[in-house]
Amino acid sequence: VPFLCWPYFGDQFGNRDYVCLTWRTGLSVAPDGDGVVTGEEIRGKLEALLSDEGIRERALRLREAARSAVAAGGDSYENFQSFARGMSGGLSTVSNGKGIADVRGENTR
């Protein structure tokens, strides 16, 4: 899903930068000289967001990467399984995307 970012406080500004500048899957609204984000600004950014094929394609690729990560065998899935085993007293390892590392940071593959 493409993002229309309107940060307000704290880490939202960093999140906006990540979405708009790193992933390039969204646009940020900007306040006018009085600090107000106008309806015209929102409308214009929404129209630009929905008509930008590049943003749409990157958002779809990001969605697929996220789905792969949480599916069985994906890094997020494996890291969560490792976390759950560790919490229940099992061996604690994490996937770093390049292999499995134990808690000392040593590569085990």
Residue length of the chain: 109
Label the pairing between strands 100-102 and 93-95: antiparallel
Local structure of residue 99 (DSSP, 8 states)? S
Helix (H) / strand (E) element for 24: namely none
Local confidence pLDDT in tens for the 109 residues of the chain: 899 999 999 999 999 999 999 999 999 999 999 999 999 999 999 999 999 999 999 999 999 999 999 999 999 999 999 999 888 875 555 566 665 555 544 555 5
The confidence score (pLDDT) of residue 104 equals: 45
The confidence score (pLDDT) of residue 1 equals: 87
Within 8 A by CB and 6+ apart from 42, the residues are: 4, 29
The confidence score (pLDDT) of residue 12 equals: 97
CA–CA dist 55, 61 (Å, integer): 10
